[in-house]
């Protein structure tokens, strides 16, 4: 039961930060939407009912901080690309990036981390590869270096 309270609190906190509404009506709607999401997640079986391993908790904090930093850098790069004076055509690329994730959680986390980073989108996920669309080849090259993939592997076990 405690895990459901923690997941609800996390969902509700994210909802409040993203929505910015503080009127009682909207707070109620946010709570209802979080309860519905929690019910769907419970029915899908994606909420771990056991205790989370210590190494996972240990690696989640630096990974979250690093992902936030990568998102800020990518946002600045995309903004610079969009706002530059010498309007040059974009050179988007579509390519496959190797991954060695041990389980589905690792593959999903890695693919979502790529999509969260501005300028890159995960298109297809295969057991050992993820197809990525990037605004320029630099985004694809940095993913192929494997730093983000290695950090996700530490979390996924």
pTM over 0.75: no
pLDDT in the model for residue 54: 59
User: Please, what is the end-to-end C-alpha distance for the chain in angstroms?
Assistant: 25
pLDDT in the model for residue 139: 83
Radius of gyration of the chain (CA): 18
Q: Check residue 50 and report its DSSP letter.
A: S
Task: State pLDDT tens for residues 16-75.
Answer: 888 888 899 999 999 999 999 988 988 887 776 666 565 556 667 787 888 888 888 888
* Beta-carbon-side half-sphere exposure of residue 3 (alpha carbons within 13 Å): 12
Identify the H or E element spanning 95.
strand 93-98
Q: Check residue 127 and report its DSSP letter.
A: S
The strand order across the sheet containing 93-98 reads 93-98, 129-134, 120-125
Torsion of CA 72, 75, 80, 83, to 10 degrees: -140
Give φ, ψ of 146 to 5 degrees.
90, 10
Torsion sign across C-alpha atoms 143, 139, 68, 114: negative
Nearest-angstrom CA–CA distance, 42 and 36: 10
């Amino acid at each position: 039961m405690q895990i459901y309270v923690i997941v609800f609190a996390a969902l509700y906190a994210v909802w409040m930060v993203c929505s910015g509404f503080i009127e009682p009506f909207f707070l109620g709607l946010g709570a209802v939407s979080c309860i519905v999401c929690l019910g769907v997640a419970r029915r899908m079986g994606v909420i771990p009912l056991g205790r989370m391993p210590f190494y996972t908790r240990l690696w989640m904090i630096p990974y979250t901080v690093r992902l936030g930093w990568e998102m800020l850098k990518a946002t600045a790069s995309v903004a610079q690309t969009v706002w530059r004076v010498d309007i040059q055509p974009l050179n988007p690329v579509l390519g496959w990036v190797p991954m060695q994730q041990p389980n589905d959680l690792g593959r999903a986390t890695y693919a979502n981390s790529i999509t969260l980073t501005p300028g890159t989108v995960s298109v297809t996920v295969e057991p050992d590869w993820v197809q990525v669309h990037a605004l320029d080849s630099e985004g694809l090259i940095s993913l192929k270096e494997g730093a983000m993939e290695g950090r996700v592997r530490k979390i996924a076990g």
